[in-house]
Amino acid sequence: MPAHTPAAAASSAPAVHAHVAAEDALYPCSDGKPMSENMWQGLAIVNAVVDLRVARPGALVAPDILAYPEQGNPRNRIAPDVLVAFGLGAHNRSTYLVWKEGKPPDWVLEVASPSTVGRDLDAKRRIYAEMGVPEYWQFDPQGGLFPLGAPRLQGLALVDGEYEPLPARLERGERTIRSPVLGLDLRAEGGLIRFRDPVTGKDIRHHDEAGARIAELEATLQRLQAGSSNDRS
């Protein structure tokens, strides 16, 4: 039997790298669209990502990552504003390939903007249901984008292939919705979503000084947008 030499091992490596490169090219990490349309949307996304990473540090919490539900069909893709998946590790990814991860995301959030609200309420609802995402949340940070009378924060649970509203309740005078998937209570507060731990009764990363909170979110948003620009260049 021929000896296994370093040269022989090296000769087989390019095929592996070529396969990875080909797959990366087939499922690109960029759709050419910005992470957010305006500051309301951008700050709401960043706030959710920061708070969820604190509340659930072992989970994958990703903003604006392209998810591909179907192997071999790169045209079937969607980029949730926020994606949460448990049990997969929190390490960074360029894309979310459902067949590689072994399951769809556990929780997704779409933050509405004037140009996306129609798709958030209709097409994306169908897409996430077909993917099998257990919970789909919608948030209107500006107010006035959802149909008249609709709450600014809505949580939907997948039941027999269709989404049904999660029940809301008044807690401390505020409309609050429990997310069974996250194990957290959510409410709209200004242009942000607040996450509360129902066990401790405390908000996640609550800041007494609103100005400090906004400054922190703006700095984080700038870093994420800079990183997104580098990835997509």
Nearest to 136 by CA among 112, 115, 120: 120
Instruction: Please report, as a single letter, which amino acid is at residue 229.
Output: S
Average pLDDT, the chain: 83
pLDDT tens sequence across 152-180: 999 999 999 999 999 999 998 999 999 99
In this prediction, residue 160 carries a pLDDT of 97
pLDDT digits over 84-138, tens only?
Answer: 999 999 999 999 999 999 999 999 999 998 988 999 999 999 999 999 999 999 9
User: Where in the chain are the domains?
Assistant: 31-232
Closest CA to 193 of 184, 201, 106: 184
Say how far apart CA 175 and CA 181 lie, in whole Å.
19
Instruction: With cut-offs at 50, 70 and 90, classify the pLDDT of residue 218.
Output: low
The strand pairing partners of 60, in sequence order, are 85
Q: How high is the pLDDT of residue 30?
A: 57
Neighbours of 166 (CB within 10 A): 17
- Dist CA 35 CA 30 (whole Å): 10
128 burial (CB, 10 Å; 0-12 / 13-18 / 19+) is buried
The answer regarding whether domain 31-232 maps to CATH 3.40.50 reads no
Altogether, the residues listed in the chain come to a count of 233
- Give the whole-angstrom CA distance, residue 72 versus residue 100: 12
Question: The dihedral of CA 71, 76, 78, 84: what is its sign?
Answer: negative
**Residue 147 near residue 154, CB atoms below 8 Å:** no
The residue-averaged pLDDT of 26-36 equals 58
* Of 189 and 233, more confident: 189
Q: What is the pTM of this model?
A: 0.77
**Mean pLDDT in residue range 194-200:** 96
